[in-house]
Amino acid sequence: MSVTIKDVAALAGVSASTVSRTCKNSPSISEETKQKVRSAMKELGYEPNFQASNLASRNTRTIGIILPVSAREVYENSFYLEAIRGISQVCNQQQYISTIVTGQDEEEVLEAVRSMTRIGQADGFILLYSRQNDPVIEFLHREKLPYVLIGKACQYANQTVYIDNDNLLAGDEATEYLYQLGHRKIAYLGVDNSLVFSADRKSGYLLALARHGILPKPGYCLELPSITAEGHTPVHALLESADRPTAIVVSDDILALTLERICMETRLSIPRDLSILSFNNSLFARLTSPQLTSIDINSCQLGIEAAGQMISHIERPELPATKILVPHQLIERASCACPSIH
């Protein structure tokens, strides 16, 4: 004879509805009661039928994780893997499923989101990026679908739940760190400025220079969709110029790796000839030689906070839009030093 929800309720000394809400990890049930119910379920060998429950409530307990379209960003940048790890951790704890949404271009990603929405495959979406004029955000907002951004909201900021670092402050602190080492010729190397985190880090860089009365020299602010070590790039030109910088703030560790290769080609020694300070504190930062000084943005924690907010807003749609800032930390390694005197 199969165990029923009433059997669990009787053993735990609670109502059947309390058992049902515990199975859904409802915030209205205390942790003490949840533990009592789960102990009874374990003792009786009761397995809740989530599929039937979800059909009744039209709740799939599934969250779509939307990745940016660039294959390079997704597959080379460990930020996304760390954020997904944090999201998965919370989804597993709360008995939700996460599914990846990506595509070769914006239209393909948008169509995938439309399709999942149309056939009811997800209760909400977490975007692992924030981009200006994003058609995916336009669609989600227009259809009144729950979503959470990792990154600062550009569209519908007052109605959007987002989790972010203070990237402006981080860019400022990175530049100030180099200034305090004695650098005055500090350049900035970033990715596409439509990505909000890169734009904010650049703004922080400029703010720190302005505070010390320094105007960035022509060619010192480079923003490139991607860079390679092959050919003669604007980065090569900057490093080979007579008035080259003594330090560079780089918007992420992947770019910093390429910059290190270019330094080898142009016979510049790190940190003797050029100090490099980057962001994300990924595995790459620790595997390079010399190891990179990097701003740790706590990528996994960003994912944890995003998933927690997503589930809260799925289960309680009346909640106001939340903005959460995850703190960052500068990790000192061997890629920065005082400028050498020539």
Of 130, 35, 79, the C-alpha closest to 284 is 79
pLDDT of residue 73: 59
Q: Which residues lie across from 149 on neighbouring strands? A: 127, 162
pTM of the prediction?
Answer: 0.81
Residue that the structure tokens 């990792």 belong to? 150
pLDDT of residue 113: 94
CA 15: distance to chain centroid? 41
Q: Which residues lie across from 101 on neighbouring strands? A: 66
State the Cα–Cα distance between residues 119 and 112, nearest whole angstrom: 11
Q: How far is CA 260 from CA 10, 95, 269, 275, 334, in A?
A: 66, 43, 9, 10, 13
Per-residue pLDDT of the chain (342 residues; tens, 9 = 90+): 678 888 999 999 998 888 888 887 777 788 899 899 999 988 888 877 654 454 445 678 999 999 988 655 566 788 999 999 999 999 999 999 999 999 889 999 999 999 998 888 899 999 999 988 999 999 999 989 999 999 999 999 999 999 999 999 999 999 999 999 999 999 999 987 778 999 999 999 999 999 999 998 889 999 887 666 566 789 999 999 999 999 999 999 989 999 999 999 999 999 999 999 999 999 989 999 999 999 999 999 999 999 999 999 999 999 999 999 999 999 999 999 999 865
Torsion sign (Cα): 169, 175, 178, 180: negative
- Give yes or no for a contact between 101 and 65, defined as CB atoms under 8 angstroms apart: yes
pLDDT of residue 55: 42
What the chain holds in terms of domains, given with CATH numbers, is: 5-48 (1.10.260.40), 62-165+299-328 (3.40.50.2300), 167-297 (3.40.50.2300)
Burial of 277 (0-12, 13-18, 19+ CB in 10 A): buried
State the Cα–Cα distance between residues 226 and 245, nearest whole angstrom: 20
pLDDT of residue 226: 67
